[in-house]
Amino acid sequence: MIPISWYLIVGAVLFLIGVLGFFIKRNIIALLLSVEIMLNAVNLTFVAFSSQHGQISGQIFVFFVLVVAAAEAAVGLALVIAMFRNRESLNVDRSNLLKW
């Protein structure tokens, strides 16, 4: 049996990859993908703990996260299209008008 720490390490590494991707990439689609990676890292952690403790609630949470992630992808991609139509660019650093 694979110990739980392995799952947690994989989850943490995945999460860090997502975070780093979010900070490094400028393409907004890459940012959305990074968010997906982070969410799935969390999902993995949930499932690992669920299995460890023998409780179903962690797995139910994963379903909710998947639903939210799907909705987020739908809205996010719609925004990406709207943004591209306006600016002919997917660079998030060029969308900085909403500030002080």
Partner 1 sequence: MDPFSLLWLIPVLPLIGAAINGVFGKHLSKTAIAVIASGAVGLSFLISARAFFAMLSVSELPIIRDYFTWIQSGRFQANFGFMLDHLSGLMILIVTGVGFLIHVYSAGYMAHEEGYYRYFAYLNLFVFFMLTLVLANNYLLMFVGWEGVGLCSYLLIGFWFTRKSAADAGKKAFVVNRVGDFGFVLAIIFIFWTFDRIDFAGVFGRLADGSAFPVEQLGNVGVLTVIGLLLFVGAAGKSAQFPLYVWLPDAMEGPTPVSALIHAATMVTAGVYMVARSAAIYNHAPGALLVIAVVGAFTAIFAASIGLVQTDIKKVLAYSTVSQLGYMFLACGAGAYAAGVFHLMTHAFFKALLFLGAGSVIHGMGGLQDIRKMGGLRHQMPWTYRTFLVGTVAIAGIPPLAGFFSKDAVLWGVWNYATYGKILWTVGVIAAAFTSFYMFRLLILTFYGSPRYTHHDVHHVHESPKSMLIPLVVLAILSIVAGWVGIPPVLGGGNQIEHFLSAEAHETASESAGHSTEELLLMAVSTGAALGGLFLAYLFYVARPSLPAALATKAHSMYSIVLNKYYVDELYDAVIVWPVVRTSREFLWKFVDTIVIDGTVNGVGKLVRGSAGALRRMQSGYVRTYAGWIFLGGVAVLAWFLR
Region binding partner 1 by CB under 8 A among candidate stretches 4-12, 59-67, 79-87, 88-96: 88-96
CB under 8 Å to 14, separation ≥6 — which residues?
A: 37, 38, 40, 41, 44
Please give the Cα distance from 39 to 47 (Å, whole number): 12
Q: Which stretch binds partner 1 (CB under 8 A): 44-52, 69-77, 79-87, 91-99?
A: 91-99
If one asks whether residue 99 binds partner 1 (CB under 8 A), the answer comes out as yes
Say how far apart CA 63 and CA 32 lie, in whole Å: 19
Rg (CA), the chain: 17
Tokens of 29: 């689609």
Please state, as a whole number, how many other Cβ atoms lie within 10 Å of the Cβ of residue 69.
18
Site string for partner 1, 7-46 (x = CB under 8 A): ------------x--xx-------x---------------
Residue 93 beta carbon to partner 1: minimum distance, rounded to whole angstroms: 6
For the bound state, the minimum distance from the C-beta of residue 34 to partner 1, rounded and expressed in Å, comes to: 9
Q: Which residues bind partner 1 (CB under 8 A)?
A: 19, 22-23, 31, 92-93, 95-100
